[in-house]
């Protein structure tokens, strides 16, 4: 029923593409900027490999063991390992999370496409902060503009996923991920030659532990967890296509390393430009869409660099969006007997429709607030702070506590004795506690 990745490299590119999204290039730099730079980055790196990697390995392990969509995989494995089909609720949560996240992720992805056009038209050249603020406000206040770009982004995602594993997913990531890396390296060269690279380097890698608060520790842990795209079913769905002879340990390490390298490269691209122009590295979410264009508009070659940067953002967003749509499409194909093309279009239309509520959250319905704020605020809170931590928590609890050691060892690598033991200790004791702390912090228990 399932296709397969043609090689280990294809799987690494796919999962790395899933993990490398707007969270790495848009969110990581400003979160690092707000939490003191180097010390935060050090804790982030530690959390990526101690917390993120074991979750990644657990999710791939379960995906390949079940060979189905996340919901069916957890139903089958729950029955086999514990005699309890209710573990399928982990899969249900993953499907729901991926569907909800993509509904607003597509809208933000549409912003990146719009900014590619703005940069290509030399909009940033000699523009001041007021002009750029006006451009951004003009985009988010227009239902028509946001809907158009949301539709384009969602359409591109649907076309790729509808074409299947090898012709769609694999063909896309084989182009998009290397292109993303090539653009990133080109921008890094620009940052070295035209920005204050020494200041950017010091800010990212010279730790000042006096700036590291207990809250920053939890934020670093949360960023490490979320940047890897675990807990939402996407990695499990991709794991279902991994050939049996491939090492889950080696591929997971490669994916996590690639994802982390991209996040650090994003910082090395953005901060030298920020420091060269005397801007604030702790600017916040507007760092990429408002502050960076201001800097690029004053620098030589800024128009070309700006176009490439937002193209990079668009590629990163697209690789993540593809992985978010895949679990829902796989579920429709396997449980409803739909053809893949029809399932892709139906799932994409459902996501697009729900995304319209995010579109209006920025304009005509901005004053309509309930619970946590606008419709967008509520979906963002539900997915980021509840569904994803719960997904990551229960995936590792199942893999570490419910699954018998013979099953997990056989799936990970029967010959990797020491590494398997380390994974098992982390999955059973360290990860659940760490994710629980992130969850409690996110819902405001420690505030």
Residue 296: inside a domain, yes or no? yes
- pLDDT at residue 217, rounded to an integer: 87
Domain coverage including residue 15: 8-442
Give the C-alpha separation, 355 to 296, whole Å. 31
Mean pLDDT of the chain: 91
User: How many domains are contained in the chain?
Assistant: 1
- pLDDT at residue 58, rounded to an integer: 97
Residue 257: inside a domain, yes or no? yes
Give the domain CATH number at 381: 1.20.1740.10
Residue 178: inside a domain, yes or no? yes
pLDDT digits (tens, 9 = 90+) for 328-340: 999 999 999 999 9
Per-residue pLDDT for 418 more than 80?
yes
Residue 385: inside a domain, yes or no? yes
Tokens of 210: 């006096």
Residue 447: inside a domain, yes or no? no
Of 90, 55, 39, nearest to 433 by C-alpha is 55
- pLDDT at residue 2, rounded to an integer: 58
Residue 337: inside a domain, yes or no? yes
Per-residue pLDDT for 87 more than 80?
yes
Give the C-alpha separation, 326 to 204, whole Å. 35
Per-residue pLDDT for 431 more than 80?
yes
Residue 69: inside a domain, yes or no? yes
Per-residue pLDDT for 125 more than 80?
yes
CB atoms under 10 Å from CB of 100, counted, come to 21
Per-residue pLDDT for 291 more than 50?
yes
Tell me the Ramachandran region of residue 207: left when phi exceeds 0, alpha when psi lies from -120 to 50, beta otherwise.
beta
Q: Note whether 394 and 90 are within 8 A (CB).
A: yes
Give DSSP secondary structure letters for 380-409.
Answer: HHIIIIIIHHHHHHHHHHIIIIIS-HHHHH
38-55 mean pLDDT: 94
The pLDDT-based confidence of 40 (bands split at 50, 70, 90) is very high
DSSP state for residue 370 in the 8-state scheme: B
Q: Give every CB contact of residue 358 below 8 A, 6+ residues apart in sequence.
A: 103, 104, 107, 375, 376, 379
Residue 266: inside a domain, yes or no? yes
- pLDDT at residue 51, rounded to an integer: 93
- pLDDT at residue 1, rounded to an integer: 46
Q: Which pTM was predicted?
A: 0.92
Give the C-alpha separation, 79 to 91, whole Å. 14
Cα→Cα distances 147→103, 167, 286, Å: 12, 28, 21
Per-residue pLDDT for 283 more than 80?
no
Per-residue pLDDT for 139 more than 80?
yes
What's the farthest any 2 CA atoms get from each other in the chain? 66
């Amino acid at each position: 029923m399932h296709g397969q990745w043609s090689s280990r490299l294809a799987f690494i590119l796919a999962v790395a593409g899933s993990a490398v999204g707007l969270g790495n290039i848009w969110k990581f730099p400003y979160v690092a900027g707000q939490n003191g730079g180097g010390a935060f980055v050090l804790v982030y790196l530690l959390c990526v490999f101690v917390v993120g990697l074991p979750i990644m390995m657990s999710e791939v392990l379960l995906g390949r063991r079940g060979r189905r969509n996340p919901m069916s995989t957890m139903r089958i494995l729950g029955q086999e390992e514990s005699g309890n089909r209710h573990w399928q609720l982990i899969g249900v949560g993953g499907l729901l999370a991926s569907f909800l996240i993509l509904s607003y992720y597509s809208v933000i992805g549409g912003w990146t496409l719009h900014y590619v056009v703005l940069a290509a038209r030399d909009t940033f050249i000699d523009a001041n902060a007021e002009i750029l603020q006006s451009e951004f406000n003009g985009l988010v206040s227009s239902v028509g503009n946001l809907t158009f770009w949301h539709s384009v982004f969602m359409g591109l995602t649907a076309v790729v996923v509808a074409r299947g594993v090898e012709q769609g997913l694999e063909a896309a990531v084989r182009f998009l991920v290397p292109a993303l890396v090539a653009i990133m390296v080109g921008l890094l060269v620009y940052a070295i030659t035209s920005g204050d690279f020494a200041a950017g380097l010091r800010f990212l890698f010279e730790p000042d532990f006096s700036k590291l608060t207990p809250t920053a520790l939890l934020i670093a842990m949360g960023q490490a967890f979320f940047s890897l795209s675990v807990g939402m079913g996407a990695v499990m769905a991709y794991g279902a296509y991994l050939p049996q002879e491939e090492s889950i340990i080696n591929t997971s390490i490669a994916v996590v390393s690639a994802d982390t390298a991209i996040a650090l490269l994003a910082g090395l691209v953005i901060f030298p430009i920020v420091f060269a122009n005397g801007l604030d590295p702790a600017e916040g979410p507007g760092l990429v869409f408002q502050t960076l264009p201001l800097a690029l508009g004053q620098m030589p070659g800024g128009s070309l660099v700006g176009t490439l940067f937002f193209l990079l953002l668009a590629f990163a967003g697209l690789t993540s969006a593809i992985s978010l749509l895949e679990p829902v499409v796989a579920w429709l194909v396997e449980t409803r007997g739909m053809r893949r093309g029809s399932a892709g279009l139906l799932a994409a239309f459902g996501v697009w429709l729900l995304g319209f509520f995010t579109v209006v959250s920025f304009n005509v319905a901005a004053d309509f607030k309930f619970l946590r704020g606008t419709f967008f605020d509520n979906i963002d809170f539900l997915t980021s702070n509840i569904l994803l931590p719960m997904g990551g928590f229960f995936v590792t609890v199942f893999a570490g506590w419910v699954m018998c050691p013979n099953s997990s060892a056989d799936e990970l690598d029967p010959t990797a004795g020491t590494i398997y033991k380390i994974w098992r200790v982390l999955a059973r004791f360290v990860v659940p506690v760490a994710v629980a702390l992130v969850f409690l912090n996110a819902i405001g228990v420690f505030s």
